[in-house]
């Protein structure tokens, strides 16, 4: 019989929004109420708007399951985790959790700022119901994983956000909760620590504990989770196998389908001296596509806008795998000799032939640098595309493990002699 770790039934959360058109001084409000009390009460009620952050959400998670929760900003993901963490309570419905819960939500949640890192470790362990001896047995492992040995006796209010997150995750993962809730807060950490956290969460799941992982990083969700929920405006759109749910999210999320990089909701840095404004994937026939075939050539069309003359040293495309690991980077100077760009629109065509990537999802990171690595524009997850198997090739039936397929020559140099 399958053992259920999390049960969510008809869960809804309602908030009252105050739609005030402006702010009044206290004396003005008192004066208005004194002159027109009934009108003031009616006006105050009229300005209250009901907002459903979650509406009628139901799902189960088996013990040891890893569930991804995805959706655009404002979809209700964090509200769901806050209810499950008992930070807030539902308006309707219920959540049943079988086991101790460790959660990592916003930076600062669960730590007392005046206590040291060490004191917060013991406090969190006590909250989880652990004995002091149990916590002491995990203490060194927690501190080592968080990489804050020098600062463990310093009050956490003096920590940087990165240090805070490293310790918070290490505490949540190592104090052995039966259920681990992790929000997008991991994005605060550096790339190396994010990779380390994903590896630890895999270890946690393989030990039979349950994980709910909220993230906008689709490769991380696909690499870690078995199934996923897709939320939109507080409602459950889809619940199923992670690849199918992510595919639906990518299909419906306009910020990923949109080729116009000015309209996309992307994370970007740079002073904008040169700025990527459009990206497009083309298949082997030069037709716009969202997927390409294993072994078949494809192209990436880039449009760069320059508002005033600039010295461009690097224009690069980095191909990133499903776990956020860089596979390879191509730079414009590999085959193109340009540097000084005048004001105007520049269009580039990058040809990848043959396609070295194996089936799965590939993400693109774009960057444009000037002298001394001055950042003009740098976009993480500018575009995602799927690589599909070649149904007519010799590997149509065989699933070749790996990320890329690099041409390699085999030669028989010796065999049995007659």
Instruction: Encode pLDDT of 202-223 as tens digits.
Output: 887 788 889 898 887 777 788 7
| CATH (residue range 4-20+44-254) | 3.40.50.300
Q: What is the pLDDT of residues 309-353, one digit of tens each?
A: 999 999 999 998 766 778 999 999 999 998 889 999 999 999 999
> Is pLDDT above 90 for 396?
no
pLDDT score at 145: 86
> Is pLDDT above 80 for 370?
yes
- Best-predicted range by mean pLDDT (104-113, 185-194, 274-283, 324-333): 274-283
Pick from 87, 145, 151: nearest CA to 117: 151
C-alpha to C-alpha distance for 364 and 381, rounded to whole angstroms? 5
> Is pLDDT above 60 for 26?
no
> Is pLDDT above 60 for 393?
no
Burial of 160 (0-12, 13-18, 19+ CB in 10 A): exposed
Q: What is the pLDDT of residues 108-137, one digit of tens each?
A: 566 788 889 899 888 878 876 778 888 888
pLDDT score at 277: 94
Q: CA geometry: angle at 340 spanning 337 and 342, to 5°?
A: 125
Domain with CATH 3.40.50.300 in the chain: 4-20+44-254
What predicted TM-score, i.e. pTM, was given to this entire model?
0.58
Give the orientation angle of helix 132-146 with respect to helix 117-127, to 10 degrees. Answer: 130
| CATH (residue range 257-388) | 2.70.50.60
Domain with CATH 2.70.50.60 in the chain: 257-388
Q: What is the pLDDT of residues 156-182, one digit of tens each?
A: 888 887 788 788 888 877 877 788 888
Long-range CB pairs of 52-55 (<8 Å, 24+ gap) are 52/12, 52/13, 52/14, 52/15, 52/234, 53/13, 53/14, 53/15, 53/79, 53/234, 54/11, 54/12, 54/13, 54/79, 54/80, 54/83, 54/90, 54/234, 55/12, 55/234, 55/235
> Is pLDDT above 90 for 57?
yes
pLDDT score at 104: 73
State mean pLDDT over 72-90.
86
C-alpha to C-alpha distance for 318 and 366, rounded to whole angstroms? 7
C-alpha to C-alpha distance for 369 and 339, rounded to whole angstroms? 11
Give just the sign of the alpha carbon dihedral 211, 216, 217, 221.
positive
C-alpha to C-alpha distance for 364 and 321, rounded to whole angstroms? 9
Candidate from 92-96, 214-218, 244-248 with smallest mean pLDDT: 214-218
Secondary structure of residue 414 in the 3-state scheme = coil
Task: Give residue 255's pLDDT band: very low, low, confident or very high (50, 70, 90).
Answer: very low
Q: Name which residue leads in pLDDT, 104 or 385.
A: 385
pLDDT score at 80: 92
Task: Give residue 262's pLDDT band: very low, low, confident or very high (50, 70, 90).
Answer: confident
Task: Give residue 33's pLDDT band: very low, low, confident or very high (50, 70, 90).
Answer: low
């Amino acid at each position: 019989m399958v053992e259920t770790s999390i049960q969510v039934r008809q869960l809804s959360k309602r908030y009252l929004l105050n739609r005030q058109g402006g702010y009044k001084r206290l004396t003005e409000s008192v004066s208005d109420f004194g002159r027109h009390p009934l009108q003031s009460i009616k006006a105050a009620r009229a300005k209250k708007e009901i907002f459903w952050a979650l509406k009628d959400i139901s799902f189960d998670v088996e013990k040891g399951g890893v569930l991804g929760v995805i959706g655009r900003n404002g979809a209700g993901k964090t509200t769901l985790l806050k209810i499950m963490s008992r930070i807030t309570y539902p308006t309707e419905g219920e959540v049943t959790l079988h086991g101790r819960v460790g959660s990592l939500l916003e930076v600062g949640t669960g730590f007392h700022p005046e206590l040291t890192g060490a004191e917060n470790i013991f406090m969190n362990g006590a909250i989880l119901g652990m004995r002091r001896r149990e916590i002491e047995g995990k203490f060194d492992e927690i501190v080592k994983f968080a990489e804050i040995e020098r600062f463990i006796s310093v009050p956490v209010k003096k920590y940087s956000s990165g240090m805070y997150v490293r310790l918070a995750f290490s505490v949540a993962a190592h104090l052995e909760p039966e259920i681990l809730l992790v929000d997008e807060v991991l994005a605060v950490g550096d790339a190396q620590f994010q990779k380390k956290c994903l590896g630890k969460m895999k270890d946690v799941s393989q030990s039979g504990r349950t994980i709910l992982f909220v993230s906008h990083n689709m490769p991380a969700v696909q690499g870690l989770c078995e199934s996923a929920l897709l939320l939109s405006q507080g409602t459950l759109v889809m619940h199923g196998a992670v690849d199918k749910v992510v595919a639906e999210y990518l299909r419906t999320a306009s910020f990923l389908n949109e080729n116009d990089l000015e309209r996309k909701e992307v994370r970007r840095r740079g002073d904008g001296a040169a700025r990527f404004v459009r990206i497009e994937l083309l298949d082997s026939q030069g037709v716009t596509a969202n997927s390409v075939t294993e072994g078949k050539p494809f192209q990436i069309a880039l449009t760069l806008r320059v508002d005033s003359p600039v010295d461009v040293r690097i224009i690069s495309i980095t191909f990133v795998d499903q776990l956020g690991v860089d596979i390879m980077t191509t730079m414009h100077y590999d085959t193109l000799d340009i540097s000084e760009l005048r004001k105007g629109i520049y269009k580039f065509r990058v040809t990848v032939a043959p396609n070295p990537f194996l089936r799965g999802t590939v993400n693109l990171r774009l960057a444009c640098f000037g002298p001394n690595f001055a950042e003009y524009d740098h976009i993480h997850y500018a575009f995602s595309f799927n690589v599909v198997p070649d149904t007519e090739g010799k590997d149509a039936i065989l699933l070749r493990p790996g990320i890329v397929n690099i041409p390699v020559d085999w030669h028989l140099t010796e065999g049995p002699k007659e």
